[in-house]
Structure 1
Amino acid sequence: MPAKENDRSSLVQVQFLTVAEVASMMRVSKMTVYRLVHSGELPAVRVGKSFRVPEKAVHAYLQNAYFDAG
C-alpha cells in the first residue's frame, strides 16, 4: 500500500475527544486540559477555534502520569 493511503487509513481510525470530554474523563476542569494542551504535555489538533484530543493521547498521558507512592 502506498505511504499516503496508509497514512489516511490510520487517520480514519483515530478517535478524537473534545476538551470537555477529556476533562470529564480525567475529572479535572477544562482549563486544566487547555493548560496541558498549550504546554505540549497533551497533543491536540485545532479544528476551527476548538481543540480535539486523540483518545490514545489521553490514555498515554494517564499511563505516564501514574505516581508510585511506595
Structure 2
Amino acid sequence: MSIGGLARIVQTEPLTQWPQGVERTEHQRRSPFSAAWSTTVEELARELRALGASSVVLQMAFEPGQQRLDGLP
C-alpha cells in the first residue's frame, strides 16, 4: 500500500492528552529508530490489513498547524 493509499484509511490528529508516565522533552530529539519511512508505511499497512481495519485514527505529538494537506504530519 502506498502512502496515499494509507492516507485514505488513516486519519492523523494531534494528541488530545499526553500519555501518563511519559516525560515531555523541552527540545526535539532524533529518533532512535532507523527504519525507512516507506518500510514503516508498508508494515503498518500490512498490520492494518491483517486486522481488517478500514478506518483508523492515529494520534501523534504534533501541533494542528503542522499537518500537511494530505493529512500526514
Greater fraction helix: 1
Which bracket does the TM-score occupy, shorter chain normalised?
Answer: under 0.3
Question: TM-score, structure 1 length as denominator?
Answer: 0.27
Question: TM-score, structure 2 length as denominator?
Answer: 0.26
**Relative contact order, higher structure (CA 8 A, sep 6+):** 2
